[in-house]
Structures are given as structure tokens and as C-alpha cells.
Structure 1
């Protein structure tokens, strides 16, 4: 958003983020289920993307591809609102601290990482519930059953299992996402029409989603799924507990390729998903600006 425009009220930014997030997740959620299944596999063999889809549909039915959808749907409004509001807040803060009048490539990366770190505190409980429901071995009746059992067994703080790995996941992804969006927008030809602007947003958001996925997958995504998907046994130290030691364990026992388990379905979702997200956000904000008129235009 241009710094010359008056900032829209928070509730409109919140609404735009919610609409974009829900649109993205309804479109790409089955790929997220397959990605999680692939990442929870602990052996050196994998069914692959197509094989995992076929196995889930054949053995569990098509509806299983949308198992665990409720938590991320409930999460999308606060998650996307937090992402974009935090990115805007940190962008203004860092520009003031550095004396920069305009956003730069360096600041866009730092701002994105800070927004991701902020966002991670919101998403952990919802991500934990989603992964518990997506696991093939899941016996939970639904989201509320997951929450009840976690609180009963581990207390309220149990809902924040995997906080550290989630923190790194969102920090790296958002840094790559917003940093790439800034650079790609600078490189793309200036849009001469609303349709051209939408196309530019989709292209820059898609590339940002791809870059963010490449950066964050080996650092946290696989580890995060392992940490949150493993049942805790009293008196036993979990095999996967902290992000970077867990990365070393997976690398040593399963090889470097294991760090990119689930990468294909993840990038197939988050690359175009990042494009859809940015496109819908900017389109919705544009509608709000036109409705409000100057000085928001």
C-alpha cells in the first residue's frame, strides 16, 4: 500500500485479510493435508504427491482431504489480519528507526520476518489441532475433542506445543514472502490498468509464496509437524523437541531429502496461494478505498 494514502481502519484491513485467507484455504486445503501426511512419514520411502492423494481417497474417502478444516478456517481472520497488520506496523517502526522514508529491500525482509514472528503466537493452538486431526492415526472426534484431551493431559500450555518451531516457520516464510514481493514489484512493468495491477499482485505474491516455501521448509515445517504430531509419553524425552537439533536428527537418520518431505504439495499450495492471498487482499482493500473515497484513494 502506498504511504501517501491514508491508512484504512483496522476493521477493514481485518475483513480484507479474512476474506483473502478463507478464499485461499478453501481452494488449497487438500494439498495441506497431503503435505502433513508426507511430513509425518518417518521412513526413507514415500508415496509421493499423487500416491498420497490416491491412498487417502481410496482408504479413507474424499472427505478426509478436508479433515481438520475447521481450525484453519477459524484461524484465517485473526491470522491474516495479524500478518498484514504486523507487517504494516513493523514497516513503519523500522522506517522510523532507520530514518528511511520509503521501504527498501533490506527493510522489507526484516519487516516480513518480524510480522511472521508476531503471527506465530496467534497460530500455534490452531496449527496443533489441525495436525492432530490430519494424522492418519487420529482418533479424535473433532477439534473440540483435541483441545479437551490436550488440556486434560498437558494443561493449557500444551496447546502451545511446537511454539518454537512455529516461530521459526513463520519468521522465515514471511521474510521470504514480503521480501520477494517488494523486489518483484520493483521489477515488473508498471500496471496500466486495474487488471494489470491484479496480475502483478498475483505474480509477485506467487513468487513470494514460492521463495518463502523454499526457505522455510527445511528449517521448520517438517520439524514442526513432527513435534506437534508426536504423542507425549510421561517420563520420556521426545525425539523431536527443538527445531535445530531435530533438523540434525532427521538429516542424520533419513538423509537431506527428508528435510523437504511434503515440499511439492506445500509449494503447489503456497506459491499460487500466496498469489491468491495478495490478489484478494489488494482487490478487497481497493474496493474499500473506492467506497470511502479521498483521502484513501
Structure 2
């Protein structure tokens, strides 16, 4: 009787490419599905002088944007996310697995290893994703002049220089490092609690991913508001917003303009986005990781006969005859 491999165990010939490809597919799935809610979050975080662009809640924002600008406005800039999310998530998940394994081999505790892995993955992925995120938010704002990713990138670069694409990078890291460390740690612990046998279990991946995303999003919302202020400063009319220089300056301006409640702008849509997107991201990652790892291991892999029982040779799923 042969031993059954753990579903998460990758074959030697797959390596980190499987994690990177799975991460890329998961990232694109995550961002594309939840993009309209992310657009609402961006608009709620921007300090606008126009009462037309001030929303009382997610439902109010959705109704007013769709009725005055059309549903397509909620998807404006999605191509920037798709272009950036694939490579960024590939780097993220590849780094995640590599650092987690390295930290474990160095004797770190599981919790410390997962936290270090989450933080390291973020530093690498955000360096790649930040310019795409700037373009995305410039296209999401109320009455944005941009309809093309390339046009937006060219105009921002011409008017504000390369620094415009990275002015929010320190703030992004200040958000993303704790966000991903919290998310990955909560996810890993919940997954272990819900699925101690480490079997392929979409339900446990969805629940653990959703809870992890909600906790991480809520904790880091104030910094996310500061990031939005920095990334959209070129569209602002007020001098204090247009000349904001960095994270602490942005936090100061937010407090001066709106008090404590300013730091919670967009909290609801941020959590609403993070719960399903994190659940979808982890579910997609686990699925694609499992699918691809067995595809690498089994040369004659047939998707239409995919099963999770292993027969014939170790590491392969039953394919039927």
C-alpha cells in the first residue's frame, strides 16, 4: 500500500514556478472580480470638493455612479490591475513559499516563518505593482480624464515624473507588510485548525481566506486612506492635498481635514473587497497550485478525468482509461 502524498507537496521538477503561476492566476481572478467595489472604495477615500463625488455609503455610491456615469465607470482602470496583478502575484507567491521554506529550515517557529514570508513577499510584489496601482486610482476617480492605461501612464510621467509612480511606495509597504503578515498568519493558523489533515478543502480555504482578509483590511485602513491621498494628489485642487509629500504628511492632512473619521474612510468597501477577494485568492491559489503541481508530475494529465485519489504512480491523480 503506497503512502498518499500531501496535496500541497510539490514535485521536485515543478519548483517555485508552480507557486508563481498559481499566484498569477489567483491574483488576476481576485482583482478582476472585486474591481467595482474597489473603485467605490477609492472614490470614498478621495477628498473631493465636488458634492457629487461625496458618498454616504457603498450602496449610495453604487447607485449614484451607475445612474450618472454608467456601470462601465466602475470598471475603469481594470486593465491596469490585470496587467500588474499577474506578475506581482507571481512574485508574491513565489517569494512567499521560498522564504517560508528558508525560514523553517533556519529553525524559525511556524508563526515567525509565515510572518517573515508574508512581509518579504510584499516588499518584492509591491515594487512591481505600485505604478499599476497609481494608474488604476487615477482612472477610478470621479470625472477622470483617462480611458487608457498607456495614456494615463504617459500623462502622469510627463506632468509629475517617475516619482509619481513611487511616492506612495513607502506607504504601500507600511500597509502591505502588516496586511500580508496578518493575512498570511491568520490564514495559515485557521487553515491548520480547520483542515489539520491538510487535504484539498475549498471550503476551509474560502473561510480562512475571508476571515484573514477582513482582519488585515480593517487594521490597515487608515494607512490605505493615506496611500489613496498620495496616489491621487495630482488630481486634487486644494494645495494641501496636491502638495502632500509622504505618509506622515498625508496622515496629518487627513486628520486636519476630517478628524478621526477621516482615517476610516472606505472601511466598509475595503473590508467588503478584502473578504471575498482574499477568499477567492487563496482558494484559487490552492486550486491552481494543486492542479499545476500534479500536471507537472503527470505527463499524460487529463483535466476531464481529474480526481483526487492517487493511483498507478505516486504523486499522480487517477485519470481513468
TM-score range, shorter chain: 0.7 to 0.9
* Residue segments in structure 1 that go unaligned for 5+ positions in a row: none
Q: Give the match for residue 279 of structure 1.
A: 283
Shift of 1:159: 2.5
Conserved in 1, the CA contact under 8 Å of 2:170 and 2:247? yes
- TM-score relative to the length of structure 2: 0.81
Whose helix proportion is higher, 1 or 2?
A: 1
Q: Determine the structure 1 residue equivalent to 2:145.
A: 139
Q: CA deviation at 1:5?
A: 4.2
Distance 2:20 2:196 in 1: 28
1:267 to 268, 271, 277: 271
Q: Does 1:180 align with 2:183?
A: no
Deviation, structure 1 residue 104: 1.3
- Matching residue of 1:226: 229
Output the TM-score relative to the length of structure 1: 0.87
Whether the aligned pair in 1 keeps the contact of 2:146 and 2:152 (CA below 8 Å) is yes
Give the CA deviation at 1:54. 1.0
Distance 1:240 1:158 in 2: 12
Distance 1:192 1:16 in 2: 18
Q: State the partner residue of 2:60.
A: 51
Q: How many residues align?
A: 289
Work out which of the two has the higher radius of gyration on C-alpha atoms and give 1 or 2.
2
- Which residue is equivalent to 2:90? 81
User: How far apart are 1:135 and its partner, in Å?
Assistant: 0.8
> Does the 8 A contact of 2:24 with 2:86 survive in 1?
yes
- Structure 1's 104 and 10: CA in aligned 2 closer, same or farther, altered over 3 A? closer
Q: 1:122 to 1:193 in 2, by over 3 A?
A: closer
1:122 and 2:131 aligned: no
- Over the aligned positions, Cα root-mean-square deviation in angstroms equals 2.6
Residue 60 (structure 1) aligned with residue 63 (structure 2)? no
CA distance in 2, matches of 1:133, 1:140: 6
SS at match of 1:136: coil
Deviates more, 1:266-275 or 1:108-117: 108-117
Query: 1:241 maps to what in 2?
Result: 245
Any stretches of 5+ residues in structure 2 without a counterpart?
Answer: 1-5, 299-312, 317-321
Moved more, 84-93 or 242-251: 242-251
**Which secondary structure does the structure 1 equivalent of 2:227 belong to?**
helix
Contact 1:117 1:168 in 2 (8 A): no
Provide the C-alpha distance between the structure 2 equivalents of 1:163 and 1:217, rounded to a whole number of angstroms: 16
Change (3 A) 1:11 1:90: closer
Q: What are the superposed Cα offsets for residues 34-76 of structure 1, whole Å, 9 maximum, x if unpaired?
A: 0000000358974211111111111111110100111001112
How far apart, CA to CA, are the structure 2 residues paired with 1:155 and 1:183? 43
Structure 1 pair 295–157 and aligned structure 2 pair: CA distance change class (3 A)? farther
Comparing 61-70 with 6-15, greater Cα deviation is found at 6-15
Q: Which residue of 2 aligns with 1:254?
A: 258
Deviations 1:87-110 (A, max 9, x none): 11222333344x24xx51233223
Using the alignment, how far apart are the partners of 1:247 and 1:203 within structure 2?
33
SS at match of 2:263: helix
Structure 2 SS opposite 1:190: coil
Deviation of the 1:2 alpha carbon = 7.8
